[in-house]
Amino acid sequence: MSETVTRNLGDDRFAERAARADAEDPLRGWLERFEPLPPDVSAYLDGNSLGRVAKGVSEAMANFVGEQWGGRLIRGWDESWMSIPETLGDRIGAAALGAGAGQVIVGESTSVLLYKLARAALDARPGRTHIVVDTDNFPTDRYLLEGIAAERGCTLRWVETDPGEGLTPDQVAGAVDGDVALVVASHVSYRSAWIADAAAITAIAHRAGALVLWDVSHSVGSVPIRLDDWDVDLAAGCTYKYLNGGPGSPAFAYVRRADQGSFRQPIWGWLGSVEPFAMGAGYEPTAGMRSLLSGTPHVLSMVALGVALRHLEEAGIEAVRRKSVALTSFALELADEWLVPEGVAIASPRDSERRGGHVTLRRHDFRAVNERLWKRGVIPDFRSPDGIRVGLAPLSTSFADVYRGLAALRAEL
Ligand SMILES: *Cc1c(COP(=O)(O)O)cnc(C)c1O
């Protein structure tokens, strides 16, 4: 048998596998709950950077503009808009964070919320002068902490992590002591998709008297999170990735209920104060999660997020995770068969227990290869220096998408 024939047989086998997996997928109905891809895109593999548009979002946005903004005008704030940050926060908490009501609020960007929480944590541990963070944490986390260290005269204690994996409990155990106020870490690594053992790391930090701030941007809506059960102090995360909130949709923050009275965030705006419309002298924070707010809530963006979130609420995070593992496992199988022989390295955990919702593949020429893929309508993303991330948002990605995307990648090699 010639080499071409063998290859085609192999392709057929995988194409059939993809078709069968799609037919048996309990979440296949959710694929129809998103607006169709534009005609120039054949496989969207970047739902971990910007989630697709859920059906119903356009209508909800248009209705909101017409009936709420246009119809209610300033009256809308008192009637309903003012409470959206909390009601939406509670919904995210219940659907994706394992957080009981009253501990999550939607605020500004992830960056700003991480800053507020990290500053509050540092101030809650007076006398402790160090923050533990790993070298491969997301850039904004590292930069914010550098800024806080400069501002507050404290020191960052860097844990060197393997970019193909991520932070381990042993590394944290070796880094915390009585000088450490705070450990900041990503639950799922944006680069490798490594799932950190959040429960173990949180317990280790607590034993040393430190607080923990989890960035859950890359896990929320894809990997189950149990903030209450893990005894997490603080967390923040993104809503435009697996939560499909749309470009620049606002982030959320979690503060464990028991600590809410003792944390004070540093941006003292009127909407976090006890009585904003008293316009009084002197800032006094209000009780509970609203004290995390600073200025006027991002209402328009929250409308889209509120609609998209229903799809996750109905699917359930456990079913989403099961499909996610099946999608990334299939991607790895195709990569082993088609790409590894071409010199591609797998830079994500092979153990599905430790692997989040994407798979990172590396080769020296992947920057150029990614550009060519985009030109042919296959859209993963590129992460410096040489990684292509194949992001598989479970609700909006089919096994056939994985097949088509990786077949195109193989063709480009
Ligand atoms: C996407 C992402 C962010 C984004 O922060 P923004 O303030 O929304 O730009 C932060 N942290 C992690 C881990 C992310 O994946």
Amino acid at 272: G
| 106, 251 Cβ separation under 8 angstroms | yes
Catalytic pick from 215, 233, 386, 401?
215
Report whether residue 238 contacts ligand 1, using a CB cutoff of 6 Å. yes
**Which protein residue's CA is at the shortest distance from atom 6 of ligand 1?**
110
Indicate which atom in ligand 1 lies nearest the CA of residue 111. Answer: 7
Give residue-wise pLDDT tens across range 162-206: 989 999 999 999 999 999 999 999 999 999 999 999 999 999 999
Report whether residue 138 contacts ligand 1, using a CB cutoff of 6 Å. yes
Q: What domains does the chain contain, in order, with CATH numbers?
A: 3-53+316-412 (3.90.1150.10), 59-313 (3.40.640.10)
Q: Cis ω on the peptide bond leading into residue 380 (within 30° of 0)?
A: no
Rounded to two decimals, what is the model's pTM?
0.97
Which residue among 238, 242, 252, 360 has the greatest number of ligand 1 atoms within 8 angstroms of its CB, and so is best to mutate? 238
Q: How far apart are CA 72 and CA 81, in angstroms?
A: 10
Per the annotation, the verdict on 229 as an active-site residue is: no
**Which protein residue's CA is at the shortest distance from atom 2 of ligand 1?**
217
The pLDDT score that the predictor gives to residue 7 is: 54
Catalytic pick from 128, 191, 389, 404?
389
Per the annotation, the verdict on 215 as an active-site residue is: yes
Distance 35 CA to ligand 1 centre (A): 24
Please give the span between the terminal C-alpha atoms of the chain, in angstroms, as a whole number. 23
Per the annotation, the verdict on 125 as an active-site residue is: no
Split the chain (413 residues) into runs of 10 and give each run's mean pLDDT: 50 93 98 97 96 97 98 97 98 98 98 98 97 97 98 97 95 98 98 98 98 98 98 98 98 97 96 93 96 97 97 98 98 97 97 98 98 98 96 98 97 95
Report whether residue 140 contacts ligand 1, using a CB cutoff of 6 Å. yes
Distance 143 CA to ligand 1 centre (A): 12
Per the annotation, the verdict on 375 as an active-site residue is: no
**Which protein residue's CA is at the shortest distance from atom 12 of ligand 1?**
217
The pLDDT score that the predictor gives to residue 2 is: 44
Distance 103 CA to ligand 1 centre (A): 20
User: Residue 55 CB: number of other CB atoms within 10 A?
Assistant: 15
273: left (phi over 0), alpha (psi -120 to 50) or beta: beta
Give the three-state DSSP class for 234.
strand
Paired tokens of 393: 């948002």
| 375, 40 Cβ separation under 8 angstroms | no
Give residue-wise pLDDT tens across range 230-266: 999 999 999 999 999 999 999 999 999 999 999 999 9
Per the annotation, the verdict on 55 as an active-site residue is: no
Paired tokens of 188: 């799922």
The pLDDT score that the predictor gives to residue 8 is: 58
Cα within 13 Å of Cα(275), Cβ side: 5
The pLDDT score that the predictor gives to residue 11 is: 73
The pLDDT score that the predictor gives to residue 10 is: 62
Q: CB within 8 A of 101, min separation 6: which ones?
A: 90, 93, 94
**β-strand partners of 361:** 346, 388
